[in-house]
Structure 1
Amino acid sequence: MVEGYNKNITSSDSKPTPDRQSSELTTWIRSLQQALTVEVDHGFINIQGRTNKFSNFVTGYLLSGPSTAVNEFDFSRLQELALDYEKYQTMSTDDRRKIIVQTRQALHTLFKYKEGEERAEPNKLKIRRSQESTLHKRSSSAYSLSLQSTISSVKGVGSKQAERLSTLGLILIRDLINYFPRDYVDYSSLKTIDKTQAGQNVTIVAKVRRCSSFKSPKNPNLAILELFIKDKTGGMKITRFFAGRRSSSIAYVKSQQSLYPVGATVAVSGLVKESKYGKSLNDPLIEIIDSPNDYLKSRTIGQILPVYSLTEGITADKFRDLIQSILYLTSNIKDPLPKETLNRLDLPNRKEAFFHIHNPENSMTLAKAKRRIVFDEFLLLQLSLLLRRDLHKKSDSPQLSIEPNINSLVGKFLSILPFSLTNAQRRVLKEIESDIVKAEPMSRLLQGDVGSGKTVIAISALLTAVQSGWQGAFMAPTEVLASQHFQTLSKWIPQLEINVDLLTGSTPKSRRKQILTDLVNGSTKILVGTHALFEDPVVFERLGLVVVDEQHRFGVKQRNKLLNKGLQPHLLTMTATPIPRTLALTLHGDLDVSQLDELPPGRTPINTQLISPNEKKYAYDLIRSEIKKGHQIYVVLPLIEESEKLELSSAVDVHYQLSTEIFSEFNVELLHGKMKSVEKQEVIQNFINKKSDILVSTTVIEVGVDVPNASVMLIEDSDRFGLAQLHQLRGRVGRGASKSYCLLSHQNKNKLSRQRLDVLVNSNDGFEISEIDLRFRGPGQVLGTKQSGLPDFALASLADDADVLEIARKEARIILDSDPLLSNNSMLRLSIKEQWDRLKIGNKLN
C-alpha cells in the first residue's frame, strides 16, 4: 500500500518553484495511481492499509487535492469521484472496476492538462506565423482559386506533380485541405540546454563558442561541420553533414564554417541525442539571429512541423509549401454547427480547425483543431446511425406474443434443457421479449464470450416467433457453423414437433427445391443457413425474426437483403467477439445492446501459458498426458490471408510432423480452408465423436465446435493473432469440468509482442481484453476481418477518442430530437448522404 494510505505528500510551507510544483503534482498523481493499482491487483476487495481502507484513503486524498494548483483546471470531477468512493464498500465488483477506471481517466486528464500548461510557456523567439503570409500576402492570381479548383491550377504545380499527387487521391484543392498530417515534429518547445533530454525535439537559443570543419576520413565526399554552443545553463555539440561532390571542396566547407562566427547567437531546432560524450544535435535546423527583435526567416525553427504521407517524387518541403500556398482558402469553409453549439462544446469553428491542423500555432491550437475534426467525423457517423435507427423504428413489424407458461414452446424448450439459465440469460431474454411484443422492429446486438449461452437465447427467440405464427431464420457466416447450429437445433426441436431445415451453398439441388417449397408454404418454421439465405429464390411465407450469428462477418448489404424478405422482421445479431463500447457505438450505434456477462456454473478457469520454441517438449508432454486421460487436443495455426498456398503448406507440414513423428501413436486429423464442405464436416464429426485425438486446424476460428472433452489448445505463432481472436479461440477448451490449458507458442522476441500476449495470460475478461486489443491493433483487426461498412476515419481513433465519441453521440441525439429529418440542417444532411453513398450501404441498415 502507499505508506499505509497515510503518507503526507507535501509538507513544506515555503512557496514552491514551478519545477517543484510540477514534481509535487506528479508525485500526488503517481501515489494515487499506485493505490489504485494495488486495489486492482487484489481483485477490488477494498483492501485494508495500515490504518485505512482503500476507499477511505482515496476519498480523503481526492478531496484534499494536490497542494499545487493547476491554473483553470476543473477539480470538480475529482471531488465527485471522492463522494462516489464513500459508497465503494457496498458496490458490486463491476461498479468498483468502473469507478477505478474513471479515476484513472481523470488523473490522466489532469496530467495531460499540466503538461499542456508547461508546454504553453511564452515563446521568446519572434516567429512570423505562416497565417500572416498565407492570409494577407496572396497574389492577385490566387483570387480565382476555390476549394473546387484542381490542384494543377495552383501556381507552380506542373502536370507531372499533379499526376503524382493524384496517386494519393489528391485531385482538387479541397482534397489537399482534407489530407491531414500523419504526424508532427514539435520544435515549439523552447528549452535551456540543461533541461533538454535525449529523444526530445527541442529549440535552443545559444551562442556559438567554437566552430570547426573537416573532411570525413572514411568518405571523401562527406564533410562535417561541428559547432559547440553554450547558454547560461550548459553547452552542447551540434554536428552538420554535407554530402556530395561540392563537399569535397575545401573552399565550400570553409564558407559554411564562416556562417557561424564565435559569439553569434543561433536558434537551433532538432532531436536531442545522448552518447558517452554528452548531449548533441545531429543535422538540426540552424539560423543566426541578428537581433533579438528580428523575426526568424526560417518557417520551421521553433514551430510544429506537419508530416504527411507522401509518394515518390514529392518532397516533404515542397508538399508543405503547396499546402501553405492554398491554406488561405480555409476561410471559405462553411460551418454546419451554430456558434452557440461550438461555445457550449468548447470547439473552434471549422475554418480555424482546418487551418491549424496544417499550420498549428502551438500544441494547444493543434489539440483544439484535432478535437473539432474528430468530433465532426464522429458526429456524422452518429447522426447517420441514429437516423437509420429512427427510420427503422417507423417500419411495421410482426407483433409477436409472449406466453409465459411451461406449455409454451419456449417453456417446453427450457424444461428439457439439462441446465438452468443463468441470471444474465434470463435478463437478456426479458430484454428481447420486451422488444418483440412491439409493432416496431427489434434491432438488438447480443454480445457474450464463447460458452456464455447465446445459442440458447437465439433458439428461445426463434421459438417465440414460431409460437406467434411466424417463421425464423438463423444465419451463420460459414457452412461449418451453420451445420453446427442445425445439429444443436435438431437435438432439441424435434421434441417440440417443429420443422427445421438447413440451406447452404452445398445443399443438393433436389433437396434445395424441397426446402424452398416447404419455406413458401410455411411448413418449415425455422431455416438455418449461410449467405445462401440471401439469394432471391429463398422466399419465406411469414418471416418474423432473423438471428445473425457472428454478425461482423457479414456485410451490411447482405443483412439488409435478408431483412427485406418480408414485413420488416425483428433482428437479433450475436457475436462471441466482445466489442469495446467505442467500437460497438461505431459499428452498431443503431442497435440496442445486450450483454451476457456471466458464464454458466461449472466452467473451470483455463490455464493460459506462454511457451517459447525451446519449451515445445513441455507442450508435447502435456498433450500426451491429457490424451492418455481420455481428453482431446486442438493445434491451431494462423490464417495467412496473403497466401492460401502457404497456409495450406504450413497446415499439411505440421499435420505430417505431428502424425508421423511426434504423436504417431494417436489419431491426428487436419482441417483447413481448401477442404470441401463434406470433408470438413467429416473431420469435425470425427473429433466430436472422439474418433480423433488431435485436430490440427487453420479455420477453427470460424468453427463453433463444442467439444467438452477437449482440454488443451496449442496455438502456434500466437503473436500473429489478435488478442480478441485468441480469447475467442481459448473458449473452445474449458467447456467441460476438467482442467484445461491454452498454450500460446511464439517465436517473436519483441518485448511489446510479449506484453500483448501477457494480457491474455493474466485476464479472462473478454471485454477488458478487447479494449486492449483495440489499442494494439485497431478496429478492423479486433473484429478479425475487414468489416464491411466500417467507417474510414481520417483522424478519429476509437482507442483514444472515446470521450469525443460520447459527446458526438449526445449532440447527434439533441440535433435529431429538434430536427428529426435534418430539414433545417442541409449541410449535415448532404454530408451524411455523401457518407452513405461512399460506403454504398443504402438507407436501410440494421
Structure 2
Amino acid sequence: MPAFHLLTSISELSGVGSKRKLILNDHGISTLQDLLYYFPRRHLDRTSITPIRKLEKGMVATLIGQVETFGEKSVRRGKLFQVILSDGTGILTLTWFNGVRFMKKLFKVGDRLAIHGKIDWYNGPSITHPEFDKLNPDDDPISTGAVVPLYPLTNELRSIGVDQRVLRKMVRELLRSGLAIPELFPDPVIKEYKLISRQDAFKQIHFADNGVKLNNARRRLKFDEHFFLQLLMALRKKSIQLTGTKPLPDIGPYFHTIANTLDFELTDAQKRVIEEIHDDLKKKVAMNRLLQGDVGSGKTIVSILISALAVGNNAQVAIMAPTEILAHQHYESFMSLLDKANIPCALLLGNMKKNERQSILRGLKTSKIPVIIGTHALIQDDVEMKNLGLVIVDEQHRFGVNQRLKLLKKGWNPHFLAMTATPIPRTLSITYHGDMDLSIIDELPKSRLPVVTKVVEPSRLSRIYAFIKKEVASGRQCMIIYPLVEESQKSDLAAAVEAHKELNKNVFPDLNVGLVHGRMKSEEKDRVMQDFASNKIQVLISTTVIEVGIDIPNATVMVIEHAERFGLTQLHQLRGRVGRGTDKSYCILVRRNITETAQSRLEIMEETNNGFIIADEDLKLRGPGEFFGIKQSGFFQFKIANMITDGPIIRDARKAAFKLIENDPDLQESQHRLLREIFLQEYADQLEMIALS
C-alpha cells in the first residue's frame, strides 16, 4: 500500500479511475483530505429504526424495508415513480415526481433499503422524495450491530457506480492506510475543552463504535470549524485594538441641548446603550460596535444624541442608509433635533442636482457640514470629509464589506457604529459579529402599545376594508402591502398597480389612495411618501420598499397581502411601520396559498410582538444562510457545524480562539505552526480584508 498523506490525489485509492476521479473532483473530492471531510449526512443506528406499523402522520422516521414492487404511474401532470416497501410489520409507499426514467434503473424486487423522511398518509403511510440507501448484507446494521454512515449521494455519483458501499470502502481503505492526521491544538486546549483527538474524530465520524463516540467526534469537528471562524474574529478585533484613532471623550453642549428638549424620557436601555457607546468613544482605539434594537425601540434617537456628542468633539459624522426612503426619514428625524442645537446637517443622494451636490461636497470638505446623511452616494470618490470621526451604518447587513470600508476610509480610523432593527439571535451575533462589541436596546418606550395581529382569509377582506374606512374617518391612515420577489417582479408589481386601481376606484372612491413601489423614480417616491406623512394620502398601496425605517405615527392599520410569502423577520419589520403613535394599531395578515411552514410563521406573528423571540423562531424555520443573507459576507459554509444548535460549542471555541490570539497574536509559537498554516490557507481573502480595514 502506498504511503498516503492528506494531499494525496483521490485517484491513489483502489477503484478510482480517470472517470470516477473527474466526477469526484466535481463533487469537491480531489484529495484524501477532501474525502475525510466528506462527512456522512447522517448515521443509521439499529436502535433508531421505526417499524412501519408504528408510523404516524407527520413524524420523521428512519426505517428499513424490502422492495416488493415498483414502477411508474401516469397522473394528470405527467408521471410519477413509486416503490412499495415492507418490513414484515406493514407496507410503506415511496413516491418520486422527478427523475422517473432514472429511478426505474435503481431498484429491483428484494432490495433492502434504508429510508428516512417525513410520513404522509394516503391510504396508508407514505413518503414523498425520501432519502434512501441500498443496504448490502455487510451494511445491514441489524446483522452487524454497527452504526452505518450514510453519505450524500447524487445521481451523477450513482451513474459511475459510486454508491454507499463504494464510498464506505474508499473511506475505510483511507483510514486503514496508516494516514497520519496531525493534531491542531496543543495539549492544554485538548484537556481544557475535553476534546478527543483529531485522528479519532475522523475515524468515529465515518465508522463510529457507538453513539457516544459518534457524538464526541461530532463535537470535536464542530469545535474545529467554529474555532477557525472565531480565530478570524479575534484577529479582526485585535487589528482594531492595535489601530489608533482620535478619542471623542467630551459629552459636550450639543448633547445636553438636544436631550433637554426631548418631550419623552429615554428608556433605561437607551441610557445604558448611550453610556456603552460613550465609553468606547473615550478611547484611543476605534469603536467597532453593533447596536441592536427591536422595531420602535428608539435606535434613531440614540444615534442622534451620539452624533451630537461627536460634533461636540469637533468631529464630523456620516450616516449611511440602504435606501433613499430611509435616508430621507433619517434626515427628517436628525434635522428636527439638530436644528435645536444649531448643528448643520445635509442629505446626499445619487440623483441630486449638480449645484446642490457641489455645495454639499464643499461643506463636507471644509467641515462646515458636520453631519451628513446619505445612501451609497456617500462612498463616491469625490466625497471628501475634513474631520470624519464617526461612521454610522443603518441596516449594515444590506451593505457589502467593501462599501462599509470605503466609507470608513473617508476619515482617519473613525469610530464605527452599525445599527440593525433585525434582532439577531446570540449564536449568530457571536459567529458573524464576533469582532464587534454588542449593545442591545431590549426595552420599548412605555408609550408604545403592542400591535394587534390577526391572520385572516381573503373572504374577510370586505370587513377589513370597512374597518379601514372607520379608522380613516377617525383621522388615521392605513398601508396595504404586496409582496415583491425576484422571480416574479413584474407580476407582483402588476398586482400592486392593479390593486391600487381597483381600491381607488371601487373600494375607497372617497379617499386619497397612493401607490409606491421600487421601480418609481426617486422624486415620485419621495412625493408620495411626503403626502402620506402629511396625511394627504389616507391609504397607501406599497410593495416592500417601506419595510424599514418609515415613521408615520398616524398609521394604525397595516394589511399584508399574500402574507405566507414573507419571512418572519420581514413580516415583523413591516408590522413595525404601524403602532408608532399612541393609538391602538392593527396588522392584518391575509393568507392565500398556505403551507404548513407558512402557517407556523403566521401563528408566531399572532402570538408575539417580541422581535428577539421572532428572530429565534425565524432562524429555526429558515436556517442561518437565508435568515442573515450570509452569502455576501464571504464566510465559508460549514461542513458539520450548525449555528442554531451549537451554542455551547461556539462559546468554547470563541473562548479558546480569543485566548490564543491574546497570548500569541501572530501564531508564531511552534505549537501553533499547523494552526497558522491551515488558517492562512483557508482565510487568505478574509485576512486581506483585515489588512484593508
Q: Which interval holds the TM-score relative to the shorter structure? A: 0.7 to 0.9
8 Å Cα contact 1:189/1:203 also seen in 2: no
* Corresponding residue SS for 1:325: helix
Q: 1:403 aligns with which of 226, 244, 251?
A: 251
Are 2:437 and 1:592 aligned? Answer: yes
The answer for the alignment partner of 2:347 in structure 1 is 502
Question: 1:515/1:319 Cα in 2 relative to 1: closer, same or farther (>3 Å)?
Answer: farther
The answer for the alignment partner of 2:22 in structure 1 is 163
How far, CA to CA, are the matches of 2:232 and 2:570 in structure 1?
29
Q: 1:528 aligns with which of 373, 382, 404?
A: 373
Question: 1:215/1:557 Cα in 2 relative to 1: closer, same or farther (>3 Å)?
Answer: closer
Deviations 1:61-107 (A, max 9, x none): xxxxxxxxxxxxxxxxxxxxxxxxxxxxxxxxxxxxxxxxxxxxxxx
Are 2:220 and 1:372 aligned? Answer: yes
**TM-fit CA distance, 1:354:** 2.4
Matches within 5 A, 1:290-439: 296=138, 302-315=145-158, 318-320=162-164, 321-322=166-167, 324-329=169-174, 331-403=179-251, 408-439=253-284
8 Å Cα contact 1:636/1:698 also seen in 2: yes
Question: 1:203/1:476 Cα in 2 relative to 1: closer, same or farther (>3 Å)?
Answer: closer
Deviations 1:496-532 (A, max 9, x none): 2222122222123332222222212221111111122
Matches within 5 A, 1:728-743: 728-743=573-588
Question: 1:480/1:785 Cα in 2 relative to 1: closer, same or farther (>3 Å)?
Answer: farther
Report the AA paired with residue 185 of structure 2: L
Q: Which runs of 5+ in 1 are unaligned?
A: 1-139, 205-210, 230-235, 248-252, 260-266, 289-295
The answer for the alignment partner of 2:412 in structure 1 is 567
The answer for the alignment partner of 2:78 in structure 1 is none
Deviations 1:177-236 (A, max 9, x none): 22333334x2432889899766653579xxxxxx999999x99xx99999996xxxxxx4
How far, CA to CA, are the matches of 2:82 and 2:441 in structure 1?
68
**TM-fit CA distance, 1:440:** 1.0
Report the AA paired with residue 313 of structure 1: E
Matches within 5 A, 1:698-777: 698-777=543-622
Are 2:201 and 1:201 aligned? Answer: no
How far, CA to CA, are the matches of 2:92 and 2:369 in structure 1?
81
How far, CA to CA, are the matches of 1:548 and 1:287 in structure 2?
58
8 Å Cα contact 1:188/1:362 also seen in 2: no
Are 2:301 and 1:456 aligned? Answer: yes
**TM-fit CA distance, 1:814:** 2.4
**TM-fit CA distance, 1:276:** 12
8 Å Cα contact 2:318/2:371 also seen in 1: yes
**TM-fit CA distance, 1:752:** 3.6
Query: Structure 1 residues 610-619 or 310-319, which shifts more?
Result: 310-319
Identity %, equivalent residues: 38
Question: 1:271/1:734 Cα in 2 relative to 1: closer, same or farther (>3 Å)?
Answer: closer
**TM-fit CA distance, 1:271:** 7.3
How far, CA to CA, are the matches of 1:443 and 1:658 in structure 2?
48
8 Å Cα contact 1:555/1:789 also seen in 2: no
The answer for the alignment partner of 1:689 in structure 2 is 534
TM-score with structure 1 setting the length: 0.71
Aligned length: 661
8 Å Cα contact 1:191/1:203 also seen in 2: yes
Are 2:183 and 1:183 aligned? Answer: no
Question: 1:725/1:203 Cα in 2 relative to 1: closer, same or farther (>3 Å)?
Answer: closer
How far, CA to CA, are the matches of 2:121 and 2:538 in structure 1?
58
Q: Which runs of 5+ in 2 are unaligned?
A: 75-80, 95-99
Matches within 5 A, 1:220-259: 236=89
Q: Which has the larger radius of gyration?
A: 1
**TM-fit CA distance, 1:346:** 2.4
**TM-fit CA distance, 1:661:** 2.8
How far, CA to CA, are the matches of 2:408 and 2:658 in structure 1?
26
The answer for the alignment partner of 1:57 in structure 2 is none
How far, CA to CA, are the matches of 1:750 and 1:610 in structure 2?
14
Deviations 1:443-502 (A, max 9, x none): 111111122111111111111111111111111111221121112222222332222122
Question: 1:654/1:787 Cα in 2 relative to 1: closer, same or farther (>3 Å)?
Answer: farther
Deviations 1:18-76 (A, max 9, x none): xxxxxxxxxxxxxxxxxxxxxxxxxxxxxxxxxxxxxxxxxxxxxxxxxxxxxxxxxxx
**TM-fit CA distance, 1:777:** 0.9
Question: 1:482/1:831 Cα in 2 relative to 1: closer, same or farther (>3 Å)?
Answer: farther
The answer for the alignment partner of 1:105 in structure 2 is none
How far, CA to CA, are the matches of 1:587 and 1:238 in structure 2?
47
The answer for the alignment partner of 1:445 in structure 2 is 290
8 Å Cα contact 1:396/1:567 also seen in 2: no
How far, CA to CA, are the matches of 2:329 and 2:84 in structure 1?
72
8 Å Cα contact 2:320/2:374 also seen in 1: yes
Query: Structure 1 residues 639-648 or 833-842, which shifts more?
Result: 833-842
Report the AA paired with residue 225 of structure 2: E
How far, CA to CA, are the matches of 1:703 and 1:274 in structure 2?
40
Are 2:684 and 1:837 aligned? Answer: yes
8 Å Cα contact 1:605/1:734 also seen in 2: yes
**TM-fit CA distance, 1:337:** 1.0
The structure with higher relative contact order (CA 8 Å, sep 6+) is 2
How far, CA to CA, are the matches of 2:162 and 2:29 in structure 1?
15
How far, CA to CA, are the matches of 2:67 and 2:388 in structure 1?
85
* Corresponding residue SS for 1:396: coil
The answer for the alignment partner of 1:62 in structure 2 is none
8 Å Cα contact 1:672/1:699 also seen in 2: yes
Are 2:646 and 1:788 aligned? Answer: no
* Corresponding residue SS for 1:567: coil
Matches within 5 A, 1:3-152: 140=1, 143=2, 145-152=4-11
**TM-fit CA distance, 1:703:** 4.1
Matches within 5 A, 1:556-635: 556-635=401-480
Question: 1:788/1:639 Cα in 2 relative to 1: closer, same or farther (>3 Å)?
Answer: farther
Query: Structure 1 residues 468-477 or 187-196, which shifts more?
Result: 187-196
Are 2:325 and 1:480 aligned? Answer: yes
* Corresponding residue SS for 1:189: helix
Report the AA paired with residue 167 of structure 1: D
The answer for the alignment partner of 2:383 in structure 1 is 538
Q: 2:316 aligns with which of 467, 471, 474?
A: 471
Report the AA paired with residue 783 of structure 1: F
Report the AA paired with residue 230 of structure 2: Q
Report the AA paired with residue 221 of structure 2: I
8 Å Cα contact 1:763/1:769 also seen in 2: yes
How far, CA to CA, are the matches of 1:417 and 1:274 in structure 2?
59
How far, CA to CA, are the matches of 1:652 and 1:845 in structure 2?
45
How far, CA to CA, are the matches of 2:687 and 2:11 in structure 1?
30
Deviations 1:690-719 (A, max 9, x none): 111111211334442110110001111222
**TM-fit CA distance, 1:584:** 0.8
**TM-fit CA distance, 1:422:** 1.7
Query: Structure 1 residues 429-438 or 334-343, which shifts more?
Result: 334-343
Report the AA paired with residue 318 of structure 1: V
